[in-house]
Structure 1
Amino acid sequence: MTDATLGYGDTRDREQHELAPDGHPGLDRAGNELYHALRLGTLLSLVGDLSSPAAPLFVLDAGCGEGSFARALARCGHQVDAFDASEEAVERARAAGGGPHYARARLDAWRSPWPYDVVLCIDVLFHLLDDPEWSAALRNLASLVRLTGQLILTDEDRTGPRKRDDHTLHRPTAAYRAELEPLGLRHTEFRPYGFRESEVGFHVFTRTR
């Protein structure tokens, strides 16, 4: 992750902390509460209720920010690893506690001795403007998903790229499929956030081989 991306991430984390954890700086507190609740509800429905105290799902939250999604998944009984490139975000996530194991790492650098049932990357990949950096991050996340497991990431469901601002590039769904399908992950669903005018949603890829 480039220095510019890291700097933007730290600034964004400070702005969001003034409103709601892992929120959107363009929304007030009430808007952020709704935004977070809608995303969390959709995410939990995608992950499903497949865990038990004897066999919890093993989940990775990549680019976890201040850890609000990681903590919610831990409360549902899942075993959660979470990491972020921002030291400031990781420190706040650790201070909040709640069960996940937190670390600092880049998306393309996280390693695990075991595969995950679910790998999440929420509202991060479209902030990677450099295509090789984006590709390396995506391929590394794919390598962490077990057979029949899910890679759940967020972007718009587009037919072509769209750069919104100096820190946001939405890539077409076909670009994600071109990276992930040769690695054995099949695109199985797109579910939009359904929040105001946002076109972002959850892309679900399932490992089939």
Structure 2
Amino acid sequence: MTDAALEPDVPLAHGDAPLREQDGPAAGGHPDLDRAGNELFYALRLGTLLAVIGDLHSPAAPLYVLDAGCGHGYFARALHRCGHRVDAIDAGEETIERARAADDGPRYARARLDEWRSPWPYDVVLCVDVLFHLRDDTEWAAALRNLASLVRLTGRLIVTDADTPVPRARDGRIRYRPAAGYRAVLEPLGLRHTEFRPYGFREVEAGFHVFTRIR
């Protein structure tokens, strides 16, 4: 099993991937894992996300979260259950309709990562296992800039990539980019790289890069 096999929770523009035809954690998960393995993989990532996001919310003042590339809505639903107000977007029509059908709290919309607009800024903008599938640098940077524009002051942008020193491709489907590449795009926009938390799951290299808006 290699992390090159990771399927995105949403493509930016290219519709529904084959794994999206499945339900639950198998959809958008790791195709080399069975359902039980994907349950573990999702639970581990959710735990890491909650450790990063923390519990800085209350019923009177919840965190506003955008799950950008939500797939069938696993992380959106989980974060909503934890008390956060969640918007969730996906480019796949079938995918977002399936997420909406659950009708369990998050507000879903069909949108590309580079086009979503919101009437309010978010405390957390989350993009799990999506950006490294955008092999075109112009497309990747456009998506990243738009996601950054949605983060409020002191808020966080959390994106998935490997902790690699140089850009590198995997199996023609994934393009890993170093933190320096993200910093080059995000620092002029007022976001600082504050940490990298690897998934720590088997041999998967990817993890969460966390950027905090400082101005």
TM-score (norm 1): 0.93
Is residue 187–residue 206 contact of structure 1 (8 Å, CA) maintained in 2? yes
Residue number in structure 2 paired with 1:189: 195
For 1:66 and 1:86, how far apart are their aligned partners in 2?
10
Amino acid at match of 1:93: A
Given the alignment of the two structures, is residue 13 of structure 1 paired with residue 20 of structure 2, yes or no? yes
**Count of residues paired in the alignment:** 205
Q: CA RMSD in A?
A: 1.6
Given the alignment of the two structures, is residue 74 of structure 1 paired with residue 77 of structure 2, yes or no? no
Amino acid at match of 1:163: A
Q: Tell me the CA shift for residue 9 of structure 1.
A: 4.0
User: 1:39-118 counterparts in 2 under 5 A?
Assistant: 39-118=45-124
Secondary structure at the aligned position of 1:59 is classed as: strand
Given the alignment of the two structures, is residue 32 of structure 1 paired with residue 38 of structure 2, yes or no? yes
For 1:94 and 1:8, how far apart are their aligned partners in 2?
16
Q: Tell me the CA shift for residue 96 of structure 1.
A: 1.9
Q: % of aligned pairs identical?
A: 72
TM-score (norm 2): 0.91
Q: Give the 3 Å change call, closer, same or farther, for CA 189–142 of structure 1 in structure 2.
A: same
Match of 2:207 among 183, 195, 201: 201
Residue number in structure 2 paired with 1:127: 133
Residue number in structure 2 paired with 1:175: 181
Is residue 25–residue 42 contact of structure 2 (8 Å, CA) maintained in 1? no
Structure 2 runs not aligned, ≥5 long: 1-10
Q: Tell me the CA shift for residue 91 of structure 1.
A: 1.2
